Amino acid sequence: MKPAINLIGKGLTDPHIKIFDDTAYLFASRDASPENNRFVMPDWQIWASDDLLHWTHVYTLRPEDTYIGRKFDGCWATDAVKKDSMFYWAFSEVDQTNDLHQIGVVRASNPAGPWEDYLGGPLVPDKSVGTAAYDPCFFTDEDGDVYILFGVWKYYIAKMSDDMRSLAEPPRPIEILHAEGPYGKGKTDDKVFLHKRGDLHYLSWGAYYAVSKHLHGPYKYRGCIVSPELLDEAFRGSTWPHGPTQGRHGSFFEWRGQWYFAYCEMCFSGNRYFRDFWISKVEYGEDGSILPLRMSLNAVTTPSTPCNGN
């Protein structure tokens, strides 16, 4: 069966989908080649859709057009947010050779660009907190205040200034009780994301998540949304070294009354360094738990039974 989403084979990964004016915008990093044997990610891209299946390219952000100022292959995960009348797009600068990790941000009056580097330097500099500063996520609270989350293994959160030019406070670590992840108990992962439904905040790292009624936590681990027996055959053939719950980093979003999860997917290439992305419908149990995803080539399919943790 042919995949339903028209972007397979383009290497678009680390998907964050945001809804602006009833249009879905995919903010993604990009793996350069199916021949990659390491992460080679030369730019960031934006694609737009009105049905989640057919996508049109609207913008490419090159590292040369940011404070980085040169070609660069460590263009890791991104996220975007609207604040007042402007759009802000945060990105990861990751230099594995020199152990450098920092977060930059650009802005635009339209999600399709053009985007400008209005700071001329990183928003979150390297080694400014007790974790590697990459994989940003924006969250807007009920008062319209924007927060940024980021990190690997240990996550940090900070409120943004009203003008989105700096952090309004020192980043503070987020406590997660009884955390689990693809590497075992007591460990999380990179690629943090935060969404809210009802009175619960859902803090996720790939396929794993924790919940809290309070933005700053503490968060209690609830479970994993990927269940191997609910994966169609196409999604079982190729997986990460730690199994099918590893590497499916992504974002939750609500559109037209339905929740979805967009995530990294390597089954189409069989190469963990040339990932695509996929989308599945998300359903919640009566207790607020996220039901395990039904992953299918039909895309946006429906899960079945509760996925509860400790």
Q: How many domains does the chain have?
A: 1
Q: Which domain holds residue 160?
A: 12-173+232-282
Contact 112, 46 (CB under 8 A): yes
Give domain status of residue 220, yes or no: no
Residue 82 lies in a domain: yes
User: Is the confidence at residue 17, as pLDDT, over 80?
Assistant: yes
Q: Looking at the domain assignment, is residue 197 inside a domain?
A: no
Please work out, in degrees rounded to the nearest 5, the angle formed at the alpha carbon of residue 137 by the alpha carbons of 288 and 159: 95
CA–CA separation, 95 and 118 (whole Å): 22
Has residue 233 got a pLDDT over 90? no
The residue among 159, 178, 179 whose CA lies nearest residue 169 is 159
pLDDT of the residue at 306: 44
- Beta carbons within 8 Å of 254's beta carbon, 6+ residues apart: 19, 197, 260
In a domain, 212, yes or no: no
Q: What is the CATH number of the domain that holds 54?
A: 2.115.10.20
On whether residue 44 sits in a domain, the answer given is: yes
Report helix, strand and coil shares of the chain as percent, to nearest 5: 5, 45, 55
Is residue 158 over pLDDT 50? yes
Query: Which pTM value belongs to this model?
Result: 0.95
Average pLDDT of the segment spanning 226-236: 88
Is residue 310 situated within a structural domain? no
**Residue 119 maps to a domain:** yes
Residue 203 in domain: no
